[in-house]
Amino acid sequence: MKLSEWAQRNGVHYQTAWKWARDGTMPVPVVKTATGRYLVLEQPADRDGRAVAYCRVSSADQKADLERQAGRVVTAATGMGLTISDVVTEVGSGLNGRRPKLARLLRDASVSVIVVEHRDRLARFGLEHLSAALGASGRRIVVIDDAEVEDDLVRDMTEVLTSFCARLYGRRSASRRAKAALRAAREVA
């Protein structure tokens, strides 16, 4: 397949894919023809279904980060042996339950693996329940960078405080205010 087709299918800018091919850092096998054109060698699709990358940013100001996030997710997933068939990108808060592209992705039974960069790109909290529900139908979620917070209780409290602050103060400043509340609680203790 042509490099431009592969780039479009995987949510990577063509110039980024071209640089990867030129530098030998493409996450998939690529060959250079005698005319100088790069061709991506087809990889067998997963027999159990499709693997899809889900990338999300919170606001339109961060929209430029979506492409970089998609590139990191596709590269890491390919390194894990997964063939990404599609990249779904969305702009919306992690606290917002009305994300139409995520809902469509979760409803699609042909998607067997959903790959995300961080836990909070998919859901702020409740990822364990979502994982269990998908697991019941033979599907799974792969989190590439699953760096845990030092303490699960601290992570849970941060998520709950962020949710409450979002309802009180608006979604933009919720995370900042939740962290300030945690700092104040630590100082008192």
Same domain, 137 and 73: yes
Residue 152 pLDDT more than 70?
Answer: no
Q: Which of 58, 85, 93, 137 is catalytic?
A: 58
Bridge partners of residue 148, in order along the sequence: none
Residue 45 pLDDT more than 60?
Answer: no
Q: Higher pLDDT residue, 108 or 95?
A: 108
- Give the predicted TM-score (pTM) of the model: 0.60
- Give me the mean pLDDT over the 75-103 stretch: 86
pLDDT on residue 141: 92
CB 3 within 8 A of CB 30: yes
Residue 94 pLDDT more than 80?
Answer: no
Q: What whole-number distance in Å separates Cα of residue 78 and Cα of residue 24?
A: 15
Does some domain include residue 94? yes
pLDDT on residue 155: 66
- Give me the mean pLDDT over the 36-59 stretch: 79
Does some domain include residue 159? yes
How sure is the predictor about 48, in pLDDT bands with cuts at 50, 70 and 90?
low
Same domain, 11 and 94: no
- Give me the mean pLDDT over the 142-151 stretch: 72
Q: Quick one: 8 exposed, middle or buried, by C-beta within 10 A (0-12, 13-18, 19+)?
A: middle
Residue 163 annotated in active site:
no
Q: What tokens were used for 182? A: 């945690």
Same domain, 79 and 160: no
Burial per residue of 121-151, b for 16 or more beta-carbon CB atoms within 10 angstroms, e otherwise: bbbbbebeeebeebeeeebebbbbeeeeeee
- Give me the mean pLDDT over the 6-10 stretch: 78
CB 181 within 8 A of CB 142: no
Q: What tokens were used for 16? A: 């980024």
**Which residues, at least 6 apart from 177, have a Cβ–Cβ distance to it below 8 Å?**
161, 165, 169
Mean pLDDT (the chain) is 82
CB 82 within 8 A of CB 48: no
Does some domain include residue 64? yes
How sure is the predictor about 46, in pLDDT bands with cuts at 50, 70 and 90?
very low
Same domain, 61 and 126: yes
Residue 47 pLDDT more than 60?
Answer: no
pLDDT on residue 150: 53
Same domain, 57 and 133: yes
Does some domain include residue 45? no
- Give me the mean pLDDT over the 103-121 stretch: 90
Give the domain range for residue 25.
3-40
pLDDT on residue 115: 95
Same domain, 56 and 114: yes
* Residues present in the chain in total: 189
Q: How many domains does the chain have?
A: 3
Does some domain include residue 120? yes
Does some domain include residue 104? yes
Same domain, 68 and 136: yes
CB 10 within 8 A of CB 70: yes
pLDDT on residue 56: 92
62 secondary structure, DSSP code = G
